Structure 1
Amino acid sequence: MKPMRKPFRLDPIFPFEIVFEQLRTTRNELPDHLHDLYELVYIHRGNGTIFIDNALYEQKPGDLFLIPGNTIHRAFSNAAEPVVSTAVFFAPAFIRSEWVDDGYAPLKGFDIARHKGRYKLSLPDELQQRFQSVLSDIDRETKSKEVGYRHAVRMQLQRLLLWVNRIPAARDPDSNANTRIGPHWMLDAMREIDRDPVQAGGLAELSAKAGVTAPHFSRVFKQFTGMNLIDYVTVKRIVRVKSLLLASDDNVEAIALECGFQSLPHFYLTFKKLTGMTPRAYRNSYLEP
């Protein structure tokens, strides 16, 4: 049977989701499925079995599973002692940094899991406690949505990935360290969009410059960022709009046009969808004493 593709409805500027301490039952287990996002699964309690990429693994407390994007998997619940687990989903671009530490790549553990077929790690007791604490902090941040919560979640996820990469079983001494997250041409395209989301060009221009086909560019871009090219460019344009709203006295319509929005009704709808307020309300919220 063909695996299903699990849908996500993520915030385009926050491609992250956590399902914290969920009781896994036959009713809520998906059939064979895959998705573009990377996934961490930590087992808190119970026992069960999980199928990942043509192999079965036992699930027990303290186990951590690294599931790269587009990897077929499925969990099987144990009626007598069902699993309670936390699942963390994120797009690779969510943890992208403009600087790298030689010899360290946050997603190295996922790369090795895919290439070596080692998707399961058994955490030592002390690391289990630290993992549980950070997962609880992440869940609290995503629910409270206090100022800076996206930044806090990103930092906490980076901490988890750092711990994973320091586990000997998650490292591959026979492979050369790869400090890149994604291919060079994808990083170049994202930097170009970041610099100028208005003049960066569309799919045809960017894929031609990258030297890959448009369908391949779209597929890799979605896997890497968690969103399609149009949505990504739109988010970057809104970021520029927000900056200009606070840095200039230009009217909202002029700023929208400058940032590439030709349809003002579409601009207003998009801005409110991504920020939760109108452009004028956003500007006024920073101008008020």
Structure 2
Amino acid sequence: MQSETFHLDSYIAASEAFHYARKNLARRFPQKAHDHDFYEVFLIVDGRTAHWINGVTQMLEPGQLVFMRPADTHAFRADRLQGCEIINIMFRTESADHLIKRYSDTLAGRFFASKSDIPELHTLGPTRFKRALNVASQLQTADRSLARIEEFLLTLTNRVAVPETRAVRTAPRWFSAACNAAQHPEVFRDGAAGFIAAAGRSHEHVCRTCKDVLGVTPTDYINRIRIDHAAQLLRTEDSSIEAIAATCGFQNTSYFYRLFERAYQTTPRRYRTEHQRDPFDASDAP
């Protein structure tokens, strides 16, 4: 497919930092694909679309979020019956370059800084999809300022996109969906059994796929999610350690302690002491 280059200055003024659009895609491929002199993020809101990207055709559905880079060449064809509605945000290369440099520990090689042949695709679960719609829609009436686009991108990469998606983007769709579901307390509280139930496949099939894709067992995978959630609660809540362990699905406190120390190289109590400070008591500062 022949291509052309789209220029951000055709969409925004020199004083603006980004462009927001919510639109319905055409139900046929354009005569030419396009690349860009900018970065963009798009979210499938409703319907389905074929996405021709760098010579590969994907089928995208609601809740799928894509981080496009300037050199990526793509085109869309909405489903002829369902159509397809997307939210699209374009932003300057300087904004992405600044964030990648400033937050290299989080962004290097990921999201819009991915080095893969195909741009990074995230399949969002219901909660994260709703959050993505909310934070993206807020840009519609926002000032087109640098502060707003940077705030949006940091929210998107830290609180919306699922970290595990990078590892599972080439995995079967059912497995990606199970990994997204595993981020929710109602699933991870049940441990590996909850993950396997969310996958809707046999225990042996899930174990084999998990090992092939992630290199770990379902138990190891779900336990890390539970331990990371426990760490968040230790930083932000005053509940007892035993209560936090139970909230994360651990009925055996000793087992919880062992897993936590293995993951964070410290005890839950010491972790809380080091990370939970009283914001109204300066004497509590390190």
TM-score (norm 1): 0.50
Cα contact 1:134–1:156 (8 A) shared by 2: yes
Aligned twin of 2:270: none
Cα contact 1:107–1:161 (8 A) shared by 2: no
Cα contact 1:39–1:88 (8 A) shared by 2: yes
Gaps of 5+ in 1: 173-289
Matches of 1:86 and 1:156, distance apart in 2: 13
Aligned twin of 1:124: 125
In the TM superposition, residue 150 of structure 1 has moved relative to its aligned partner by: 4.5
Matches of 1:54 and 1:106, distance apart in 2: 25
Aligned twin of 1:15: 17
Gaps of 5+ in 2: 169-286
Matched residue SS, 2:137: helix
Matches of 1:110 and 1:23, distance apart in 2: 24
Matched residue SS, 2:141: helix
Aligned twin of 1:279: none
Letter in 2 for 1:40: V
Letter in 2 for 1:125: P
Matched residue SS, 1:117: coil
Matches of 1:91 and 1:107, distance apart in 2: 18
Aligned twin of 1:74: 75
- How do 1:210-229 and structure 2 match up within 5 A? none
Matches of 2:128 and 2:89, distance apart in 1: 17
Residue 109 of structure 1 pairs with residue 111 of structure 2: yes
Cα contact 2:3–2:32 (8 A) shared by 1: yes
Which has the higher relative contact order, 1 or 2, with Cα contacts under 8 A spaced 6 or more apart?
1
Letter in 1 for 2:105: G
Q: Which is further off, 41-50 or 114-123?
A: 114-123
Aligned twin of 1:168: 164
Aligned twin of 2:53: 52
TM-score (norm 2): 0.50
Between the aligned residues of both structures, percent identity stands at 15
Residue from 153, 156, 159 that aligns with 2:155: 159
Letter in 1 for 2:156: L
Matched residue SS, 1:158: helix
Matches of 1:107 and 1:13, distance apart in 2: 29
Matches of 1:168 and 1:119, distance apart in 2: 12
Cα contact 1:29–1:77 (8 A) shared by 2: no
Cα 1:157–1:81 change in 2 (3 A) is same
Matches of 1:38 and 1:128, distance apart in 2: 21
Cα 1:41–1:106 change in 2 (3 A) is farther
What do residues 96-154 of structure 1 show as CA deviations (whole Å, max 9, x unaligned)?
A: 25983462227722333x42535322111111011000011111214xx7xxx542343
Matched residue SS, 1:41: strand
Residue 32 of structure 1 pairs with residue 33 of structure 2: yes
Residue 4 of structure 1 pairs with residue 4 of structure 2: yes
Cα contact 1:50–1:56 (8 A) shared by 2: yes
Aligned twin of 2:89: 88
What do residues 39-98 of structure 1 show as CA deviations (whole Å, max 9, x unaligned)?
A: 111001001210111111111110112221121101112221100001111123124259
Q: Which is further off, 51-60 or 162-171?
A: 162-171
Matches of 1:70 and 1:111, distance apart in 2: 12
Cα contact 2:128–2:160 (8 A) shared by 1: no
Cα contact 2:69–2:119 (8 A) shared by 1: no
Cα contact 1:63–1:122 (8 A) shared by 2: yes
Cα 1:40–1:54 change in 2 (3 A) is same
Matches of 1:124 and 1:157, distance apart in 2: 19
Quote the RMSD (CA, aligned, Å).
Answer: 2.9
Matched residue SS, 1:87: strand
Cα contact 1:17–1:89 (8 A) shared by 2: yes
Matches of 2:82 and 2:38, distance apart in 1: 29
Aligned twin of 2:102: 100
Cα 1:104–1:12 change in 2 (3 A) is same
